[in-house]
Structure 1
């Protein structure tokens, strides 16, 4: 990687750590669970070399960012405000917003709630909330999504994930990629160290807890009911999808034109949930090409 600048920003009342590289239009890279900014290690230099100002934050609750207490601090509206706050912090009106997994869920919501702040939206292996609500009702996706319901329990998920030296975190990165070179031993060590920081497991799991508990009916809360009418994404959007995702079925990529009129779908056969690590060059090329269109 090129030399990265590490810094902090106070946005939406929370201190967020981030790394940045390059100059040009702003690109925000939002990681998922159980990750941190390092998940974009292959895309940061590629986007910076293509002429973009690339910023990859640790999302609230993760790694070196602040970990506010309480489930309510991880409501979707707070996460959206973190993203728009970062755009403001860098003195921009808009940004290209990219998200994977939970970062993708937040990116979807920014595109839905604050389209005026988004130049282009790119989502990697994270389902559109309207389509996820539909598919989650099927037996196959319910089986895949068992962990979402497990994460609603107090303290037990943290105990499970930290047991035997965070073995479950290690297994996520060693057992599920389709590319044997996706994660080195050093990469896995970094993820475990990030997850082991005080409060990080609870902060990251609180994303799932808040999804079910938030009192304001935001779009991502649609898992428990509501109308599909408010899921429209009125910005140019690209969905990149690894077809061998252990947690998300490929049917989640179907029927999205109801909500997203300007949509491009890039399915990467053989890539796993960790699509930007399984196919780093292809994902980087797709992002550079999409932003330049």
Structure 2
């Protein structure tokens, strides 16, 4: 059974869900999600002999959401993971992340390899620091219409999503899923800054089979205090680029696994398909070729729970 509690970590109070005994596996959610996005992995991983812990990361759900936008840098987020491992009485852990949780997992392995037994990322591939700040690069490429740049406008996306939280989340989850009509066509997530992002998103009459009304209820409740904390992660993209300059050119050295869907919008971002193709050569620590899930959209572990759980268990057991 999944149990819940609050835990003090790195100067903030985090809500965590946990189940099982054995080596620690930390599961990190993305945007706009919560610990609940890993609900299908708890049982299989716990039954396989692992201690599974999924926090609401800072800015999300029942966890603290600092007011200062500067409190959401990659150093703060990695610091939360390291602090969580120690607070749980462990010295090392496997770290797994999806969407925004993936960069946190990858950077935890990059910055603190001494504490990471193995790392897995879903949707977002391992980090290879570019030659210019990401927000500036996307602003230049798409004339300010890329969703990162829209999110970077203080208060704007916050207000759009909070106006009708349940509808916003329903639209967002359907739009980015493998069930959406345009999924897998390589369309970039561009936003008309005057109309907002949700205006052109389809609103499904029936939710996909893998995403129930109960799931939507839980997600809506987790954003009852708004979206600003979660959006502040995006507002640190250029600052993260500056902060990680000392690690430019380095690669994740710990055993690594990458899983993505062939209808996911993120692996189609500019330059990402080429990166994924080169990953086996770029990262000697990659456990095997990236796993591509047919017909799967962005919500990897929710759209393909059995396949993701099986791949994770095989990988975790294979780590030295």
Whether TM exceeds 0.5 here: the answer is: yes
Does 1:218 pair with 2:243?
yes
Q: 1:110-144 deviations in whole A, cap 9, x for unaligned?
A: 1111111100101000132217779x7689x959x
Kept in 2: contact 1:131–1:256 (CA 8 A): no
| 2:118 match | 120
Bigger Rg over Cα: 2
Structure 1 contact 94–119 (Cα < 8 Å) conserved: yes
Question: Gaps spanning 5+ residues in structure 2: where?
Answer: 180-207
Equivalent position of 1:110 in the other structure: 108
Structure 1 match to 2:232: 206
On the 8 A contact 2:45/2:52 being kept in 1, the answer is: yes
1:259 Cα offset (Å)? 4.4
Does 2:218 correspond to 1:190? yes
Cα separation, partners in 2 of 1:146 and 1:64, compared to 1, 3 Å? same
Is contact 1:158–1:201 with CA below 8 Å preserved after alignment? yes
Distance 1:239 1:110 in 2: 15
Question: Hey, what does 2:168 align to over in structure 1?
Answer: 168
Pairing partner for 2:96 from 92, 95, 98: 98
Alpha-carbon displacement from aligned partner over 1:7-48 (angstroms, at most 9, x marks no partner): 111111110100100000000000000000000000011100
Equivalence for 1:291: 316
> Which residue in 2 is equivalent to 1:242?
261
State whether residues 28 and 54 of structure 2, in contact with CA within 8 Å, keep that contact through their aligned partners in structure 1: yes
Query: d(CA) in 2 for partners of 1:97 and 1:227?
Result: 20
Q: 1:202 to 1:100 in 2, by over 3 A?
A: same
Cα shift readout 1:233-256 (whole Å, capped 9, x = no counterpart) = 010000011111123316042222
RMSD between aligned alpha carbons?
Answer: 2.4
* Stretch deviating more after TM superposition (187-196 or 148-157): 187-196
Aligned: 1:261 with 2:289: no
Structure 1 residues 112, 165: closer, same or farther in 2, change over 3 A?
closer
Query: What SS class does the counterpart of residue 18 from structure 1 fall into?
Result: strand
Partners of 1:253 and 1:133 lie apart in 2 by 18
- 1:159 aligns with 159
Offset at 1:170?
A: 1.6
TM-score by length of 1: 0.88
How far, CA to CA, are the matches of 2:254 and 2:242 in structure 1?
Answer: 22
State the distance in 2 between where 1:99 and 1:192 align: 21
State which drifts further: 51-60 or 157-166: 157-166
3-state SS of paired residue (2:121): strand
TM-score, reference length from structure 2: 0.81
Q: Does 1:279 align with 2:304?
A: yes
Whole-angstrom distance in 2 between the partners of 1:118 and 1:172: 32
Give the SS at the match of 1:129: coil
1:45 to 29, 33, 43: 43
**Separation in 2, partners of 1:114, 1:106:** 11
Deviation at 1:92, TM superposition (A): 1.1
Whole-Å separation in 2 of the counterparts to 1:8 and 1:279: 29
SS of 1:174's equivalent in the other structure is helix
CA contact (8 A) 2:119 2:256 kept: yes
